[in-house]
Amino acid sequence: NIINILNPQRVMLGGGVMENPRHFWNFMMERIKREAWPSALKKCKIMRSQLGGMVGDLGAFAVVLESYRKNISRSPHIKRGTITNLD
């Protein structure tokens, strides 16, 4: 159980499945209450993301941007914020 292992303050749930959570929300919450340690659950809010179905797209975009940022900082053509001759 992620709540027991990581002891987070919040668990954010998103994606397309969260656009209509009424089919599983009550079952999920009952299961969490049964499996999570009371002290860990007391500190943890389980929330629905407001990004809806876009959360996966935005997460993928964030991974691409982070990869670009890391790769651009290693480029020999960039010195102190200036691009040098690429020829």
Query: How far is residue 44 from each of residues 21, 26, 27, 30, 65, measured CA to CA in Å?
Result: 19, 17, 18, 15, 30
**CA–CA dist 64, 42 (Å, integer):** 35
- Please give the pLDDT value at position 77: 57
Residue-wise pLDDT for 43-61, tens only, equals 999 998 888 778 888 888 9
What is the C-alpha separation between 74 and 78, in angstroms, rounded? 8
In this predicted structure, which of 5-14, 15-24, 39-48 has the lowest mean pLDDT? 15-24
Q: For residues 84 and 35, which has the higher predicted lDDT (pLDDT)?
A: 35
Q: What angle do CA 66, 15, 19 make, to 5 degrees?
A: 150
Query: How far, in Å, CA of 1 to CA of 25, rounded?
Result: 17
What's the CA gap between 10 and 43, in Å, rounded? Answer: 8
Using one digit for the tens of pLDDT, what is the confidence trace for 22-41?
888 999 999 999 999 999 99
| Residue of higher predicted confidence among 55 and 5 | 5
